[in-house]
Amino acid sequence: MIFLDCPSTTPLDETVLDAMLSYLRHSGTDYQKLAQSERSERGPAVRAARESVAELVNCLPNEIVWTSGATEANNLAILGFAASRKKPGRIVSQVTEHSAVLEPLRQLGRLGWDVELLSVDQVGGISLDALRAAITNSTDLVTTMWGNNEIGTIHPIAEIAELCSSRGIAFHCDAAQAVGKVPIDLSELPITMLTLSAHKFYGPIGAGALFVRDLSKAKCISPLMFGGGQEHGLRPGTLNLSAIVGLGAASRLASEKMAAWGNHTYALRSRFESYLLCELADVSINGYADNRLPHISNIAFNGTDNEGLLTMLPEIIASTGSACHFADFNPSHVLSALNKTPQVTECSLRFGFTKDNTEDEIDRAAKMIVEAVNEFRANA
């Protein structure tokens, strides 16, 4: 099998697994000692992991709140922000956000919040002029993803952050696809909250974090769950030590290797796309040609059907869209927002490249895709 679906999840790195194992293998008195010394916010392993995550995105360790992943972090950011307000206000976002942002926004809309979703252009970009026009005196929060999980489009985060900061508006950024893939420096960007997830950059599933600026000074969010004082009172419950250790290990690895990973996945993607565009007619890239996350490729194979095409590629693991829409065969809301024809939204596949993919794998995958597309079109 050739794994080309890393926007959904990435393989757990062996060094990350090794770091986690010592916290999974314990019994008797060792467990009691571990529970007393490590399973708290002040435990050495938890502290080290928090410092590693903070180093990766260049923030203060005490601005990191542990979560189970990006979905929980997005919900805590958006719903927690709303819970801290005295009355419903106004939130601005955009239409191609992940469902972990869109669904909390829909919930707030049902609760009386004024939620505006900006449209995007044909490559998935948002207009800064449209965002400026959408921000009013009653706007409380802007939430925009760093890079899209289906087409890889990168939004102008620095400009959005500066705009929000100049207007005194909180800005939340879902960076689940970007952290560990592209440099992020929160000391330079006035972002209020930022979401990340370990399993998107070779860490374990079930571990994530929410960055909240100046958390120890003034809380801009309120808890959604109650029952303990952990994580500044924002996320109660016994900490998942092994997962947190894994997130810390993945963060250290990304701090060291991110530039090399980015160059590698970009080169593989370029090789892959160049071959397909050369060998096949009526094929196009969805999203920007260059202003994309380096690991994502979304391609329209006109004259095919994405589900049918995938069944003809049993040796390749790819997807038709977001992993969170598993078994949902409706057209991708991201591709639909690009104003593409229905035929394009129904013939597009998403591929994602990891640090572990090789040129040989990419060449074999590309050749299998060419054969499958030609066969599909011949029999259509």
Give long-range contacts, CB 8 A cutoff, 24+ apart: 251-257.
251/49, 251/52, 251/53, 251/55, 251/56, 251/180, 251/203, 252/52, 252/55, 252/56, 253/13, 253/15, 253/16, 253/202, 254/56, 254/179, 254/180, 254/201, 254/202, 255/52, 255/55, 255/56, 257/355
**6, 164, 220, 324: the active-site residue:** 324
Please provide the size of the chain in residues.
Answer: 380
- Cα 196 to Cα 20, 99, 146, 316, distances in angstroms: 19, 15, 11, 27
Is residue 6 annotated as a catalytic residue, yes or no? no
**Alpha-carbon dihedral angle through residues 268, 273, 274, 276, given to the nearest 10 degrees:** 130
φ, ψ for residue 353, nearest 5 deg = -110, 140
Cβ neighbours for 344, distance < 8 A, ≥ 6 positions apart: 284, 286, 300, 302, 335
Q: Which of 112, 188, 196 has its CA nearest to residue 146? A: 196
Give Cα 275 distance to the centre of its chain. Answer: 28
- Cα 213 to Cα 81, 142, 237, 255, distances in angstroms: 13, 15, 22, 21
Determine the 3-state secondary structure of 55 from DSSP. helix
Structure tokens belonging to residue 308 = 């049918």
Active site residue ranges: 324
